[in-house]
Amino acid sequence: MLELRGVTVRFDSTRAVDGVDLDVPVGGVLAVLGPSGSGKSTLLRAVAGLEELAAGSVRYDGRDLARVPPHRRGFALMFQDGQLFPHQSVAGNVGYALRLRRTPARAVRARVAELLALVGLPGFEDRSTSGLSGGERQRVALARALAVDPRLLLLDEPLSALDRGLRERLARDLREILLAAGTTAVLVTHDHEEAFTVADRLALMRGGRLVQSGSLEEVWRSPLDAEAARFLGYATVLDHEAARRVLAAAGEPSSGGAERRVALRRSALRVVPGGPLRGRVRSARTTPDAVRLRVDVDGVGEVDAVAAPDEPVPPSGREVTLTVDLSRAARLGADRTRRPH
């Protein structure tokens, strides 16, 4: 397993990565989620051996890798833009690592064909890399990275450069390929959808520090703070009285005294007749999945809400009642998740 302890990377005077502790068990897929500039890519490069550690250690299967250069670590790194070698064909790229290991040509050909089939590009061997679409390039890069069964696969924003539909499809494929190959992987991304699709563990980074880590469920259900919640796709964070009202409306007893904060997704409040909350519609818009509204809820403030798409769109100013779907909400900073010190 991969163990990071106090990993710190300095660029001149700034600490790009600052004392990060993380574990990834064999066969696990960890997503490191953070905004750009949070140090997540630098962390990945440090694990690959491409950045020098100012402090801390990177261990794999108990062995400290400080003195092991990148090419001896047995890892593979896949870059955001693939970084395919333009002077080689698709087969040349995929078989690159195999040829470095002096694999016989027949075996290389067979393995390349197998890998291309795995990533959904059978028969692409003789194509030139310049003619590939963005999605195809990333698939080739993935096949290249998987060629020699790396003991750890590092993925640096592998899908960010692709458009939305392709990204969602490829994220599912990626998850299946990683599971099928049993690959241990660390994925770096700023897109929480991607993280949730591909990974089974999640780590949040901000300003070079690890903010929160745990299983998908743990982090998802209990973001550490408002910023973490927003980054995980929650639209609104309520505190004090507003939070208490929403929880009460959902039937959750107030746990008296302790300050509670609640993060809501845009679909956490639903317009239903006779709901426990009351509010006035500010604006409404029809989308394919639901009617999306902004509602000024009494004692809570202006928040997002949805209504079923088959109902008529309520006009602005209409009084509505709402119910709370707690599966679309999260309580912040609950103790179930491990907080780094």
Residues 59-98 as x/- pattern, contact with other proteins by CB under 8 A: ----------xxxxxxxxxxx---x-xxx--------xx-
Check residue 24 for interaction with other proteins (CB under 8 A). no
Check residue 196 for interaction with other proteins (CB under 8 A). no
* Vertex 187 angle, CA 225 and 145, to 5°: 175
Check residue 105 for interaction with other proteins (CB under 8 A). no
Check residue 234 for interaction with other proteins (CB under 8 A). no
CA distance 146 to 195: 20
Shortest distance, position 322 Cβ to other proteins, whole Å: 48
Within 10 Å of residue 317's Cβ, how many Cβ atoms? 8
SS3 288: coil
Q: Is the CB of 99 or the CB of 285 nearer to other proteins? A: 99
Strand order in the sheet with 329-331: 236-239, 261-264, 329-331
Q: Is the CB of 30 or the CB of 48 nearer to other proteins? A: 48
CA distance 53 to 55: 5
Taking CB under 8 A as the criterion, the residue among 34, 49, 56, 214 binding other proteins is 49
Q: Which residues contact 41 (CB under 8 A, 6 or more apart)?
A: 156, 157, 188
Footprint on residues 139-168 left by other proteins (CB under 8 A)? 144-145, 147-148, 154
SS3 61: coil
- CA 330 to mean position of chain CA atoms: 18
CA distance 331 to 64: 38
Q: Is the CB of 96 or the CB of 325 nearer to other proteins? A: 96
Shortest distance, position 252 Cβ to other proteins, whole Å: 48
Taking CB under 8 A as the criterion, the residue among 26, 66, 100, 110 binding other proteins is 100
Are 206 and 226 within 8 A, CB to CB?
no
Please work out the total of residues on this chain that contact other proteins, with binding judged by CB under 8 A: 28
The site for other proteins (CB under 8 A) is made up of 45, 48-50, 69-79, 83, 85-87, 96-97, 100-101, 144-145, 147-148, 154
